[in-house]
């Protein structure tokens, strides 16, 4: 559900405004959501940077980061889904004479 802000929400015309806030509850609530999202985006950027550092460290120690990424993607999937994908891949490879 999308919360739409109209002029009445922004000026407190719906009877929901609180205290000295001239813009009503909706604008304060919106500001809080935006600030939370901004904080989470900052945390996400920091975590992304940390992940890149770990991949660089693994690469420096001689590991293939492309394969590590593939292993991580496979570990996220349920075993049944992995098995199905592997079976289809094997079937396609056989059809193309690659095995």
Query: Of 4, 64, 56, 57, whose CA–CA distance to 29 is shortest?
Result: 4
Q: What is the DSSP letter of 75?
A: H
Q: What is the DSSP letter of 61?
A: T
Same-domain status, 24 and 59: yes
Same-domain status, 75 and 33: no
Per residue in 72-98, pLDDT tens?
999 999 999 999 999 999 999 999 999
Enclosing domain of residue 91: 64-99
The predicted model scores a pTM of 0.64
Distance from C-alpha of 30 to C-alpha of 36, rounded to nearest angstrom: 10
Same-domain status, 6 and 43: yes
Same-domain status, 5 and 52: yes
Strand residue runs (E) in 1-99:
none
Per residue in 34-51, pLDDT tens?
999 999 999 999 999 999
Looking at the structure of the chain, the number of domains it has is 2
Give me 8's structure tokens.
Answer: 């009445």
């Amino acid at each position: 559900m999308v919360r739409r802000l109209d002029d009445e929400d922004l000026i407190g015309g719906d009877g929901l405004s609180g205290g000295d806030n001239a813009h009503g509850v909706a604008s304060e609530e919106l500001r809080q959501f935006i600030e939370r999202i901004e904080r989470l985006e900052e945390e996400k950027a920091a975590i992304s940077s940390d992940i890149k550092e770990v991949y660089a460290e693994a690469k420096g120690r001689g590991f293939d980061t492309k394969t590590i990424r593939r292993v991580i993607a496979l570990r996220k999937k349920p075993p049944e889904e992995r098995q199905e994908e592997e079976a289809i891949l094997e079937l396609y490879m056989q059809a193309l004479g690659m095995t």
